[in-house]
Structure 1
C-alpha cells in the first residue's frame, strides 16, 4: 500500500482553512442568513467558503473525493474523501458570537483518519491522526496549535464541565454531575473533551460534516466516542446520501465516564 504524505495533507488543510478563515473574519457578524429545509441557517459566506475549500483540496489532492455541507452529500467512490463543514456555528457567525469554525475530515474507505478544525476568532488550530484499523501508517495523536492535547483525568464533579447542544437539553430533566455549557458549535463542543476542558459532550442531531474531523481528533486525544444509536457511524457507504441523516453522539474523556454519562443522555435518542 502506498502511504499518504501526511505532512503534505496537514499543510494543505492548514493553508485552505487559513485562506478561507481570513475572509470569513471580514464577513463575521455582517452576513445575511437564509433558512434551509432542515431549519439550519446558511449564508453566502458558507457557500463561498464551501466552494473555495473544495477547489483548494481538489487542486492539491486531485485523487481525493469531496463531500461538503453546501455541495454534494453523496459519499463518493474514491478511497480517500474529504468531508467539509465551511462554517460550523453559522448562527453564531451570523449573530456576531465569536465562536465558529472550519472543519475538514479526511476519510479512508469510509472512516476518518485525519481531522483539522480551525477556529478563526480564537486563532486556534486543532488536528489529529487516528488510523484505527485502516491499515494505514503515519503519525499519531491530537494537537492544538502544534502542541499535544489529551483528555482530562478528573472525576465528574460540580466544578467540571459537560457540554450540550441546543437539541439535547432534555438531559437536564435529571440532576447532572457536572456544570453544563452550551457553545453553539458542534466541532468545538466535542473538541473541548479532546483538549481536557470538558469531561464529556453530547450532540443530538449532528450531520456527517459536523463530526467527521472531530471523530479522528477526539479519539486521537484519548476520548471515548459513543454513537447514541445502535448502528455504527463509520464506515460510510459509497453512493449513499448523507444530507439529512443525523448521528447522535456522546463523547467522554474516559471509559468510566462514558458508563456514567450514557444513562443520563440516552433521553435524547
Structure 2
C-alpha cells in the first residue's frame, strides 16, 4: 500500500483525536508533571484521551501495525507499518490556552516516514504530506474550508532568514551555544511554537527551525510534510531525522547547508 492509500484513515484518526481533545481546551484542566525534578513536562487528561482514541482505531483497523505513542509507549515497533502518535504536541501551550499546539500522526514503512499530518482542531487547520507533496486545509475568509498546496520558500542568506525554536531553555549548554551561533546571523528569531514552527516552514512563512532532544513522535510525522513542501530536514549532523534527537529544518538546501555548518562549528 502507498501513503495515499492511508490518507483517508489518517483523517479518521485526526477526527477521533480532535473529538477527544477539544472538550478540554480552555477549561480548568489540571496537568501532571512527567519530569518531576527536571524541566516541567506536562501531560493532561486530554493527551491521554486523544492517544487512546487513535490507538483503539488503529488496533481495530490494522491489528498487525505497530504504534509508537508519547503517552502509552510502543507496540510491534518492528512491524512493516508503524504509526507514530503525539496527541498534543505543545501541551504547555495547550494548558496556557494558546492555540499553537497540534496532534501529530505519522506513518513509517520499514522505519521510513511516508505520510504525516499535523491537525489543529481549534483553528480547524490540517497540514499533511507524503514526502512528495504537501497540502494545507483550513478556514478561508468566509470560514468555509479551503485547500492549498504547501511550498517552503527559498532564502539564500541567513541574514534574511526567520528562525524558530521551542525554547532555548531546552538546550544543553554546548548545544545552546551552537544554536546561538545561528541565531546571531538571522534577521528574526521567535520562540514557543513546537510543531507549528515546522508547519509554518512548510507553508513558506519561516525559513529555519532548530530543535534539540526531540523524540520520534515529535518529528517523524512532520518529515513528510516538510519534504513534501520542498524543504529540508535532518539531524544536526545531516542524518535522517525520524528517530529524533537534534533536528534542523530549512526551506531550501542552500540555507540548510549554512545552518549545518554553523551548528557543527567548534567554539
State the TM-score bracket (shorter-chain normalisation): 0.7 to 0.9
Aligned residues of 1:156 and 1:199 also touching (Cα < 8 A): no
Distance 1:205 1:65 in 2: 23
Task: Name the structure 2 match of 1:202.
Answer: 210
- Farther off after superposition, 166-175 or 24-33: 166-175
Q: Which secondary structure state, in structure 2, belongs to the residue aligned with residue 213 of structure 1?
A: coil
Task: Name the structure 2 match of 1:227.
Answer: 235
1:86 Cα deviation (Å)?
Answer: 0.5
Task: Name the structure 2 match of 1:149.
Answer: 150
Aligned residues of 2:198 and 2:226 also touching (Cα < 8 A): yes
Q: Which secondary structure state, in structure 2, belongs to the residue aligned with residue 198 of structure 1?
A: coil
Residues 69-107 of structure 1 show CA distances to partners (whole Å, capped at 9, x for unaligned) of: 011246622100100000000011011112110001100
Task: Name the structure 1 match of 2:30.
Answer: 32
Distance 1:201 1:231, change over 3 A: closer
Alignment of 1:211-226 (within 5 A): 211-226=219-234
Aligned residues of 2:234 and 2:240 also touching (Cα < 8 A): no
Distance 1:207 1:5 in 2: 22
Aligned residues of 1:81 and 1:108 also touching (Cα < 8 A): yes
Distance 1:19 1:73 in 2: 20
Distance 1:230 1:75, change over 3 A: farther
2:190 is equivalent to residue 181 of structure 1: yes
1:265 Cα deviation (Å)?
Answer: 3.6
Task: Name the structure 2 match of 1:89.
Answer: 90
1:34 Cα deviation (Å)?
Answer: 0.9
Distance 1:75 1:143 in 2: 30
Distance 2:230 2:11 in 1: 23
1:20 Cα deviation (Å)?
Answer: 2.0
Question: What TM-score does the superposition give when structure 1 sets the normalisation length?
Answer: 0.82
2:10 is equivalent to residue 13 of structure 1: yes
Distance 2:74 2:193 in 1: 23
Distance 1:78 1:33, change over 3 A: same
Task: Name the structure 1 match of 2:143.
Answer: none
Residues 185-236 of structure 1 show CA distances to partners (whole Å, capped at 9, x for unaligned) of: 2x221122111111111111211100011111101111111211476445x6
Task: Name the structure 1 match of 2:144.
Answer: none
1:64 Cα deviation (Å)?
Answer: 1.6
Q: Which secondary structure state, in structure 1, belongs to the residue aligned with residue 201 of structure 2?
A: helix
Distance 1:263 1:19, change over 3 A: same
Q: CA RMSD in A?
A: 2.4
Note the residue ranges of structure 1 that are not aligned, 5 or more in a row: 131-139, 237-245
Task: Name the structure 1 match of 2:110.
Answer: 109
Q: Which secondary structure state, in structure 2, belongs to the residue aligned with residue 55 of structure 1?
A: helix
Distance 1:62 1:35, change over 3 A: same
Residues 23-66 of structure 1 show CA distances to partners (whole Å, capped at 9, x for unaligned) of: 42221133211111374211111111111111112222233211
Question: What TM-score does the superposition give when structure 2 sets the normalisation length?
Answer: 0.83
Task: Name the structure 2 match of 1:136.
Answer: none
